[in-house]
Structure 1
């Protein structure tokens, strides 16, 4: 491979499997490392431990955070009904295509997610 064709890679696993994935262009190493970390965290907690299935519902607290947005997007993509709490109305608009977002400072999320 020529020098101008080299890609930055991030390593996900220490051994076995195919551990190297392309580092997304324009991201620092720290930013790129956060991508698999958030997906592994959500996958382990929501799907392996929580055993959430398509058609079920999930309430994601901090829905506009790093882990929160990953949970919202992944659950939405896999067919779950997603509710998310946020602290600002602007964040409601950002999550609207993927979740019913609730501003916990102005609304009762327990009431809204139960309806």
Structure 2
């Protein structure tokens, strides 16, 4: 059974979103990292890159496959987790902590309410 923290929001594409003031932190869920298996590389976006909702902003490569990561909401990338360049496996070992992918300033923070809460995500993945 996957770890699904109650204080986060989720997407059908298996990203998690944590609201942090006027920014959000985005990563992949425990369910996603289990499905990907051993993550070996991530292609990160540039700080300052402007993303539309559902724009692809990163590619995660595992021993099994390459998977796009999508912006759950529109906004600007304000930080990337450079630690993932040397240690992409942090997304496996700490998907909700040290394995975060980007921070983003949203164009419209009210859009967060359209995302799933923990119980909605549990239902989505059948747990």
TM-score, normalised relative to structure 1: 0.22
Where is the helix percentage greater, Structure 1 or Structure 2? 1
Larger Rg: 1
If asked which structure has higher relative contact order (CA below 8 Å, sep 6+), I would say 2
